[in-house]
């Protein structure tokens, strides 16, 4: 059996975790909203039409915040279409996904849903086909107490107190040629700067997110960051990152190694931000909102492809991916990449919440079930609070196909969460189990609380409404002697090991 050593020292820390990294994303795309989180008439629907089974799964997962309403959708969205009496709301051609948007679900419904789910809202404004004026009106509607046109409309619609939305995205993926209202970096930067200035005149306490690159493979990356931040740096609080990974023509180890590319992506953007900070001689440090991330693979013949859909339908099932156990391991690795950069990544949103690249799947009129990726997210969102420790892993490595890097077989992050030490670890090998020794230097360890494991006999195993083949189980296999602990990480497993320490 191969061996590995993980060294964890009490005094070596990477950063403090912001709980807002455990967010998700709701967009008017396919069945994310309609028959996802909202389905009046469903047996599980409450008085507002919200699916109670989905709300329960959101709470159980530990999701802290939700980005809304897009995504590509926001770049042609007029938020005023989604407020007021439902029977008077207009039906619109939705150009991002070529659908009919009924506007039955809008801002007030979303805000009420967030309150029931116990999550914070992260709203996006349309800087594609709209602009500064529309953005400040949206902010006025949500956050101004009353006595003005838009704040009084909110009150007339049944919400007296302001929503006090703290975070706002200044558009979405404006570097992408697919984006309605696509702009160059300097064009976007100037518009975002002026919009930010106006929005903070209304509410100086809000936090604003400037659009970064949509993928690390964009031809404009990282020049987009430099050029746009030249305009926005002093006026925004975060820059966004988006990233999806697929698995076409990759071995299992290469597929899982993509999590390391996400870590590198984050570090490059941090470097770009700090370059502009130095160039401007600024005292301000810009942080990151990784507000779209996920795995983009398909593992079901039943998945409906975009090209099979007739355009201009309502809430058609597009991109409804069925995730395998292998996908869950990459998903877990992406979570660990976010934790490794906890000093700068302060917000993150898994994409999407329901039905499209989703943790939670629903049947229209039927059951709800949890995908394989739900379980590593729930583990980290429940246990990953406090401080990330700067642990060191000594283990075998493997070369990726491009031969540019060597990847450790064990991917790991350690968190000090109050009186607990939590070690998250993935064995990325498809062939070997790994005997690991954990050195907990400087800690007085009282006991092993548990060892959670996510595993499957078949790497392509998935979950469905009919079965739950992939879910977390617990083991009692961790030995402990003073400052050292040991156990075996089986091949291709997600692990969370918890120790109780004396503070």
Strand order in the sheet with 434-441: 392-394, 2-9, 434-441, 484-489, 479-481
H or E element in which residue 470 lies: none
Exposure of 94 in the CB half-sphere (CA atoms within 13 A)? 28
Helix (H, G, I), strand (E, B) or coil at 274: helix
Place of tokens 């000594």: 394
From the candidates 173, 225, 231, 320, which is the catalytic residue? 173
Q: Please confirm, yes or no, whether 173 is among the known catalytic residues.
A: yes
Integer CA distances (angstroms), 447 to 41, 74, 83, 488, in order: 49, 50, 54, 18
Strands 207-210 and 238-245 come out as parallel
Residue 53: name the closest of 364, 380, 452 by CA: 364
Give the C-alpha separation, 462 to 456, whole Å: 9
Burial letters 9-21, b for 16+ CB under 10 A, else e: beeeebbebbebb
Strand order in the sheet with 445-454: 13-16, 387-389, 410-417, 420-427, 493-501, 445-454, 473-475
For residues 319 and 358, the answer to whether their CB atoms sit within 8 Å is no
Neighbour tally for 375: CB within 10 Å: 25
For residues 76 and 126, the answer to whether their CB atoms sit within 8 Å is yes
Which residues face 170 on adjacent strands? 125, 210
Residue 31: name the closest of 311, 356, 302 by CA: 356
From the candidates 140, 253, 292, 320, which is the catalytic residue? 292
Which residues face 421 on adjacent strands? 416, 499
Give the C-alpha separation, 300 to 372, whole Å: 14
Residue 488: name the closest of 427, 424, 443, 446 by CA: 427
Residues designated as active site: 173, 292
């Amino acid at each position: 059996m191969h061996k590995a050593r993980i060294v964890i020292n009490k005094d070596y820390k990477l950063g403090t975790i912001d709980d807002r990294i455990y967010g998700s994303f709701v967009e008017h795309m396919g069945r994310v909203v309609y028959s996802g989180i909202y389905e009046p008439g469903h047996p599980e629907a409450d008085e507002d039409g919200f699916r109670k089974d989905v709300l329960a799964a959101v709470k159980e997962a530990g999701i802290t915040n939700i980005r809304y309403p897009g995504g590509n959708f926001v770049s042609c969205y007029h938020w005023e279409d989604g407020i007021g009496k439902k029977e008077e709301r207009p039906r619109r051609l939705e150009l991002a996904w070529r659908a009919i948007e009924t506007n039955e679900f809008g801002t007030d419904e979303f805000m009420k849903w967030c309150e029931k789910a116990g999550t914070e809202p992260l709203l996006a404004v349309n800087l594609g086909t709209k602009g500064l004026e529309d953005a400040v009106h949206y902010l006025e509607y949500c956050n101004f107490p009353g006595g003005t046109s838009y704040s009084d409309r909110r009150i007339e619609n049944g919400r007296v107190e302001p929503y006090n939305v703290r975070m706002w995205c200044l558009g979405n993926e404006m570097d992408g040629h697919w984006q309605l209202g696509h702009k160059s970096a300097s064009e976007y930067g100037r518009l975002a700067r002026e919009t930010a200035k106006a929005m903070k005149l209304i509410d100086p306490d809000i936090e604003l997110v400037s659009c970064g690159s949509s993928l690390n493979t964009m031809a404009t990356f990282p020049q987009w960051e430099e050029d746009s931040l030249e305009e926005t740096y002093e006026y925004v609080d975060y820059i966004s990152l988006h990233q999806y990974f697929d698995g076409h023509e990759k071995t299992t180890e290469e597929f899982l190694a993509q999590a390391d590319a996400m870590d590198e992506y984050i570090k490059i953007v941090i470097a770009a931000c700090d370059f502009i900070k130095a160039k401007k001689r600024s005292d301000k440090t810009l942080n990151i909102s990784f507000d779209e991330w996920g795995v983009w693979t398909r593992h079901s013949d039943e998945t409906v492809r975009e090209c099979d859909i007739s355009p201009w339908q309502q809430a058609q099932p597009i991109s409804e991916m069925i995730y395998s156990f292998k996908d869950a391991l990459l998903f877990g690795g992406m979570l660990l990449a976010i934790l490794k950069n906890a000093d700068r990544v302060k917000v993150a949103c898994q994409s999407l919440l329901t039905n499209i690249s989703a943790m939670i799947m629903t049947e229209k009129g039927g059951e709800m079930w949890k995908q394989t990726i739900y379980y590593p997210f729930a583990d980290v969102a429940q246990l990953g609070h406090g401080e990330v420790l700067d642990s060191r892993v000594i283990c075998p490595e493997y070369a990726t196909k491009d031969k540019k890097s060597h990847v450790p077989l064990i991917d790991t992050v350690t968190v000090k969460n109050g009186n607990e030490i939590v070690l998250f670890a993935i064995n990325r090998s498809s062939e070997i189990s790994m005997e690991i020794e954990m050195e907990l230097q400087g800690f007085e360890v009282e006991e092993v609380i548990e060892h959670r494991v996510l595993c499957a006999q078949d790497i392509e195993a998935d979950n469905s409404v009919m079965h739950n083949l992939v879910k977390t189980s617990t083991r009692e296999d961790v030995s402990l002697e003073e400052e050292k602990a040991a156990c075996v990480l089986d091949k291709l497993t997600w692990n969370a090991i918890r120790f109780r320490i004396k503070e």
